[in-house]
Amino acid sequence: MSTLDLSKFKATGLETCFHGRHIEPQIYAGLNGANWHLQDYVARGGYVALRRILTGLLPDGTQGEPMTPEQLIAEVKASGLRGRGGAGFPTGLKWSFMPRALPVQKYLVCNSDEGEPGTCKDRDILMFNPHAVIEGMAIAAYAMGISVGYNYIHGEIFEVYERFEAALEEARAAGFLGNNILGSSHSFQLHAHHGFGAYICGEETALLESLEGKKGQPRFKPPFPASFGLYGKPTTINNTETFAAVPWIIRHGGEAYLKVGKPNNGGTKIFSMVGDVERPGNYEVPMGTPFSTLLELAGGVKGGRKLKAVIPGGSSAPVLPAHLMMACTMDYDSIAKAGSMLGSGAVIVMDETRCMVKSLLRLSYFYQHESCGQCTPCREGTGWLWRMVQRIEHGEGRPEDLAMLDNVAENIMGRTICALGDAAAMPVRAMLKHFRDEFAYHIEHKTCQVSVPA
């Protein structure tokens, strides 16, 4: 085994997280890379929320009443917090589905399998503020009467997994995890689990299969995990950022959280700005921030070039041309209205020199590579899409290919077990909708329309 010290090649977080260009940050506030430890988190007001709900001790030292699970869920509902994993499902509502009083083992799972191309926000949360996730999970566990939890971490970010394990040790030693937390009747055991390179394991039921030590192949929904989850037991799954938002909500109240964002879109959201921007990185801003502001935070389009298109929610989201994107605010509703989705929060920016055929080709390759193969429309369809786009990119496209692409994509959608099929089809359809000319040009002229090849 090699013992080479590669630390000089590693990111410090300066470019992506401690650049000071967030707006009203909650999760990334006050971080510098060195202050991820429990004592630093406590100094930032950490674990106050957990103490408050379990013991009634308020931040100013006065003694109040502990919070009941019902009050907690009501607070999360009032906050307008929606799932940060991509689908934007209301978190409080999801928590209320949990059969809290059922006398069986129930599980809490954190989805840190962040593998949606473009997304790296959860990595920075877990690396630089892991206790926010631990506290959020401990609170959620109390709200739903859960005593065991797992955090499933993307296998490729192994150092983040090790960091999270170290943070777990600190939390256990300080009595924030384990039996009878802070002297209350709430016990919660939390463990870290790592993946090993399979995009599909980010899908919640594939993740559960993987956690059970199997191939990560999605299950049919319903039943949703709330009724049949890990080891067949009631399970609640949320994204890393969703859990990390919870302590702030309890400390400041659901209403305050809602006010930070806009109606139906509470709080802040972390966006991974990637691709053709001057300063790629993670930016935490209030929901509803104009896209133009976000783009400015990231230093604008690289090299002062013109914006051509944006994929606003990770590679599975439909692409939007510049003029539509520039009119959006960054929240679930605005982006959905423009015909795309907020998704995982990855914002893939493409400038005027980018060829859309080439871009789609790389995405289509990805989806056929990551299809788990269970459903015929997905397994066969993703390969078909990829081969057709490849043909077009290499000057061998046929005039009928455009209609066929649309047709294959349409026939995948809604006919598969999980949303990966849709994720493969949606980018194709959106590219054809907004950049059809470019595809047609490729077919007719057997070459690229864009002057500077990407």
Binding site for other proteins (CB under 8 A): 1-4, 6, 9-11, 15-16, 105, 114-120, 122-123, 150, 154-159, 191-199, 210-216, 231, 272-276, 280-282, 315, 346, 348, 350, 354, 359, 362-363, 366, 369-370, 454
Q: Which does 86 bind (CB under 5 to 8 A by kind): ligand SF4, ligand NAI, other proteins, none?
A: ligand NAI
Site residues for ligand SF4, 199-258, by CB under 6 A, read 200, 218
Q: Which does 375 bind (CB under 5 to 8 A by kind): ligand FMN, ligand SF4, ligand NAI, none?
A: ligand SF4
Look at strands 307-311 and 346-351 and give their pairing.
antiparallel
Sign of CA dihedral 448, 346, 386, 365: positive
Q: Which does 118 bind (CB under 5 to 8 A by kind): ligand SF4, ligand FMN, ligand NAI, none?
A: none
DSSP 28: S
In the chain, count H helices and then E strands.
Answer: 17, 11
Q: Which does 296 bind (CB under 5 to 8 A by kind): ligand NAI, other proteins, ligand FMN, none?
A: none
Q: Which string of DSSP letters, residue by residue, matches 256-287?
A: HHHHHSBTTB-SEEEEEEEESBSS-EEEEEET
Q: Which does 385 bind (CB under 5 to 8 A by kind): ligand NAI, ligand SF4, other proteins, none?
A: none
Return the number of the residue (59 or 223) whose C-beta is nearest ligand NAI: 223
**What does the block give as tokens for 407?**
């047709």
Residue 453 makes CB contacts below 8 A (sequence gap 6+) with 353, 355
Q: Which does 242 bind (CB under 5 to 8 A by kind): ligand FMN, ligand NAI, other proteins, none?
A: ligand FMN
Looking at 172-180, 284-292, 312-320, 443-451, which segment touches ligand NAI (CB under 6 A)? Answer: 312-320
Minimum Å distance from CB 355 to ligand NAI? 24
Residue 265 makes CB contacts below 8 A (sequence gap 6+) with 80, 82, 287, 288, 331, 332, 333
Minimum Å distance from CB 418 to ligand SF4? 3
Q: Which does 346 bind (CB under 5 to 8 A by kind): ligand FMN, other proteins, ligand SF4, none?
A: other proteins
Alpha carbon 234 to its chain's center: 22
Q: Judged by CB under 6 A, does residue 373 bind ligand SF4?
A: yes
Residues 255, 258, 264: CA angle, nearest 5 degrees:
125
Query: In the chain, what is the straight-line distance between the N-terminal and C-terminal CA atoms, in Å?
Result: 39
**Other Cβ atoms closer than 10 A to 352:** 15
Return the number of the residue (55 or 147) whose C-beta is nearest other proteins: 147
Site residues for ligand SF4, 375-404, by CB under 6 A, read 375, 378-379
Integer Cα distance of 303 and 122 in angstroms: 28
Q: Which string of DSSP letters, residue by residue, matches 127-171?
A: HH-HHHHHHHHHHHHHHHT--EEEEEE-TT-HHHHHHHHHHHHHH
Choose which of 114, 135, 276, 438 interacts with ligand FMN (CB under 6 A).
114
Minimum Å distance from CB 119 to other proteins? 7
Choose which of 78, 87, 402, 440 interacts with ligand NAI (CB under 6 A).
87
Half-sphere exposure of 215 (CA within 13 A, CB side): 8
Q: Judged by CB under 6 A, does residue 113 bind ligand FMN?
A: yes
Residues 395, 396, 401: CA angle, nearest 5 degrees:
110
Choose which of 82, 94, 106, 163 interacts with ligand NAI (CB under 6 A).
94
Tell me, residue by residue from 202 to 221, as one string, x for binding to ligand NAI by CB under 6 A and - for no binding: xxx-----------------
- Residues 430, 319: contact at Cβ < 8 Å? yes
Return the number of the residue (3 or 63) whose C-beta is nearest other proteins: 3
SS3 406: helix
Q: Judged by CB under 6 A, does residue 119 bind ligand NAI?
A: yes
Site residues for ligand FMN, 418-437, by CB under 6 A, read 418-420, 423
At which residue do the structure tokens 């990185």 appear?
Answer: 281
Q: Judged by CB under 6 A, does residue 124 bind ligand NAI?
A: no
Looking at 83-91, 282-290, 349-357, 394-402, which segment touches ligand FMN (CB under 6 A)? Answer: 83-91
Residues that bind ligand FMN (CB under 6 A): 83-87, 89, 111, 113-116, 200, 202-204, 237-239, 242, 418-420, 423
